[in-house]
A and B are shown apart, each in its own frame.
Chain A
């Protein structure tokens, strides 16, 4: 499979009163085209910081200190990669929501309460798809589907310009002038039409009526679906879901997971980066999984290998502490708590809580070692662990 996204030695720090928080320490993950990659870990392990660094939406006082984020949009030409960290802010804005889009945990915070659903989904098209919409409107005019009436020459000129360069100064000036600014109306209508289309593709039956409603009319599960619709509007190659189902009820979460699976099967989404703390969600939806702890990547493997033959002591402990249907008795725990990343433990960051820690763990940082089949582990005691 061709690579879609690869981070190389990503380092992100937060500069706070207590000192600099080393939130990410050389994190390297890679996601292939068509793959669902799960990033799991406890709160504060840096999984959200990783994707925020990838999207370059780290907020002050966070700073991306180093590394590369290679993004290879075209599966046919895997050598054409671009480093997202050196792109201009302008180019990143075009990329976000178009090629890579993101869903957040709280649908209430992601939707604007004073805009209708239709307007919010259409926003995505109005920002990223002006060219193609203008072309379509021109085609519709040619085929007689819509007509501009007496304004035809002006509007045709405007849309011809817009299909070449939607940010042309003449068009921007027009959008500021009274009456003339109405030139964009047919485009808005087209954007809302497309929104109805994308909402229908998510399996919501009354989409045409839904787009006229406001977020407060919808239930939590429906809101999260709309957020997904916004994210999928421009056919992104990568969808990042940051704890997208964590705040939903069990039965609603089941609906959303089912929807994501269904979209995946229908090829409406190609690659997904799923960030969650819920190992159950990972087991059910992901192809490959990365486990993070205190800003480092401990283990990467495909889902079956990770759950059946985990190697890193942290992964093992984490899997043991999850409540399961078929296991009785006391839950296993990981003693202690997550270290403060202002002063992370020297050597392996997990060693203070690790039962198998030896002297080398306290002194040297373990490197991520490839065990074959895409299974890599960062631990000094790999050989002993595999045997167990």
Chain B
């Protein structure tokens, strides 16, 4: 028998990984996305060195010298300037990167785990559990995010944790639907039927055959969500439901600069730095994840496989 492909001696999984990486990084937007992400990751990891906190126990509290409401332009002491209340913008940006990752990872992780496990069970077994779960998901779909967030804040008080919880509680519904439809598609596939014929148990079929083949759309969605969750959290902070004043969160920093978006009539761009730095951070962070998500979608598109 002749080999269909001439293959070098290397582990097949490594070969597959190399091929996947090639497909991802063939796309220029993936390179841009991953470089941006690496940059933010670097900032978040090196935060204690880039901007040493004043109090070790509360690193997310932005330091401020004085209480003057008028922002001060960038200077040697505050290289990005200070915001209203003399909060140091540079410090906020650096530690805000950590906050952004925290929000994204927590919300996507929580929603992903709940969504994937429920969706797989519902899709694979079907029947009354599926029917019940999907009707419950329909109900969750009817809950407006803002109302839920306000309820939680009213009940448990203001704070970033509560906003993250609210986001996670509504976000999982996406994952359930996506993974369920994938699983239903796979359930009728012949290799799943073949496994059933061999007497493989349902749990093994799920972990060996169903999950590895259905996880890709979820990965794509999760990477897009990492960005959009940060936007949502920023919005909550902006309307005053999220992080408290002075907390190192980009959304909260935009909220601080709310009154200084437009300067005095003779110089409307006078306080540009108050809004520009946190704003551009949010934009680039979300852009990074969206570019990555796009690149993953192109790479995992089954129609384009093996070209």
Residues in chain A within 8 A of chain B (CB atoms): 16-18, 61, 336-337, 339-340, 343, 352
Contacts and interface: CB of A to CB of B under 8 A. Distances in A.
B307 A16 contact: yes
Q: What is the predominant secondary structure among interface residues of chain B facing chain A? A: loop
B306 interface: yes
Interface in B137-165: none
Contacts of B302: none
A17 B19 CA distance: 8
Contact of B6 (A16, A337, A343, A352): A343
B198 interface: no
Tell which of B1, B5, B6, B307 has the most Cβ of chain A within 10 Å: B307
A25 B5 CA distance: 20
Given A16-B306, A16-B307, A17-B306, A340 B6 contact: yes
Tier of interface size on chain B: 10 to 19
Interface of B: 1-2, 4-6, 19, 22-23, 306-307
Contacts of B2: 336-337, 339, 352
Nearest to B22: A17
B307 A340 contact: no
Contacts of B6: 340, 343
Contacts of A352: 2
Contact of A61 (B4, B5, B19, B307): B307
A361 to B, nearest CB: 16
A80 to B, nearest CB: 39
A61 B2 CA distance: 26
Nearest to B19: A17
A352 B3 CA distance: 12
Contacts of A17: 19, 22-23, 306-307
Can you list the 4 inter-chain pairs with the closest CB atoms, starting with the nearest? A336-B2, A16-B307, A340-B4, A340-B5
Nearest to A352: B2
Contacts of A18: 5, 306
Nearest to A336: B2
A111 to B, nearest CB: 21
A332 B306 CA distance: 33
B307 A337 contact: no
B92 to A, nearest CB: 45
A336 B307 contact: no
Contacts of B19: 17
A336 B1 contact: yes
A339 B5 CA distance: 9
11 contacts: A16-B306, A16-B307, A17-B19, A17-B306, A17-B307, A61-B307, A336-B2, A337-B4, A340-B4, A340-B5, A352-B2
A215 to B, nearest CB: 23
